[in-house]
Structure 1
Amino acid sequence: MTTDAEAAFRQTGWAGLRARLFHLYFVLRRPMTLGVRGLVHDAATNSVFLIRHTYVPGWQLPGGGVEVGETLAEALARELAEEGNIALAAPPVLKSMHFNRRSSRRDHVGFYLIGQFNQTTPKLPDHEIAEAGFFPLDRLPQGTTPATLRRIAEVFGDEPASPYW
């Protein structure tokens, strides 16, 4: 019989291993990786859209890899649709570029602010997204990733943009 703590560790351990294998696959397939993340802000409710993946722990901003032949903005639009049922209603604003040294020595992320969007239906869980939703800035979910908290502080606080994700 396992305890709750052992079960949680086992789940987090497997999620971490899957995440490392996922990144290794992309490092081998594409030595230089480029990704996008979007901070979707609902000004009416002062909330931001966050997701929780099935394969890595923590709440984070939606986004993913830029595919061959895709612009950053196209990749962002695709990822927002896939991970949040969110469609851009105006061009996103590129806020900063970051080196994501935790993923690999050659991973970079374009970070966008989205203030005009449409979401016709809430995102339901699937094979990639365990949970998704809008959260008030003063009540972000427990387990929000440090990188997500840094990006939010850079946009809504007085923090300068870090060159690192």
Structure 2
Amino acid sequence: MADNRRRWRHRLFHTYFLMRRPMTLGARGVVFDEAENSVLLIRHTYVPGWQFPGGGVETGDTLEDTLAREILEESSVELTGRAHLFAIYQNAHASRRDHVALYVCRSFRQAAPFVPNREIAEAAFFPLGALPEGTTPATRQRLAEIFEGKEIPLVW
């Protein structure tokens, strides 16, 4: 009987904390073409600016599952090797409970030509020294952290 009460209490507290303190988690990828010294950026149809591909982690998915799926869906670029975790940030602009894992991806192939869709207007590689107008400040800052050794903040 005590075990049943303990299990019930554990489930109750777990449910309470899940409802009270939900956290969201996302993964974004810096797909880097070393030969061209360029990075993959996307432009959404519903928010301004060029940024890295990525998205939210769904229940049952790993960060790397999410990363590979989102990059493929948003750009037709397929990861062919494991990405490397660069940093984890709190994304306070989205929510105080949102976090983003940023990966650097060096092994990939263009699976198919990119075709614009309802979510993504454009996806393309840009030289690090010639990013498109409208590249978001956060995107520029992350690139400086990765390629110029700038300090990594805790907040996106």
Aligned to 1:62: 53
AA aligned to 1:113 is V
Q: Secondary structure at the match of 1:56?
A: coil
Distance 2:149 2:86 in 1: 14
What is the Cα deviation at residue 77 of structure 1?
A: 0.6
Aligned to 1:37: 28
> How many residues in Structure 1 have an aligned counterpart in Structure 2?
137
Q: Percent same amino acid among aligned pairs?
A: 55
Aligned to 1:140: 131
What is the Cα deviation at residue 122 of structure 1?
A: 2.8
Aligned to 1:93: 84
CA contact (8 A) 1:98 1:162 kept: yes
Counting only pairs closer than 5 Å after superposition, residues 76-87 of structure 1 correspond to structure 2 as 76-87=67-78
Deviation digits for residues 42-92 of structure 1 (CA, Å, limit 9, x no counterpart): 011000000000011000000010001000000001101100111111110
Distance 2:152 2:91 in 1: 13
AA aligned to 2:145 is E
Distance 1:65 1:34 in 2: 6
Aligned to 1:127: 118
Structure 1 spans left out of the alignment, 5+ residues: 1-27
Structure 2 spans left out of the alignment, 5+ residues: 1-18
Partner residue of 2:143 out of 129, 149, 152: 152
The alignment yields a C-alpha RMSD, in angstroms, of 1.4
Counting only pairs closer than 5 Å after superposition, residues 11-22 of structure 1 correspond to structure 2 as none
Deviation digits for residues 17-43 of structure 1 (CA, Å, limit 9, x no counterpart): xxxxxxxxxxx9x93110010000001
Distance 1:90 1:42 in 2: 13
What is the Cα deviation at residue 124 of structure 1?
A: 1.5
Distance 1:146 1:94 in 2: 21
CA contact (8 A) 1:99 1:107 kept: yes
62-71 or 155-164, larger mean C-alpha shift: 155-164
Aligned to 1:113: 104
TM-score (norm 2): 0.85
CA contact (8 A) 1:50 1:135 kept: yes
AA aligned to 1:112 is Y
Distance 2:145 2:115 in 1: 29
AA aligned to 1:67 is E
Distance 1:70 1:96 in 2: 19
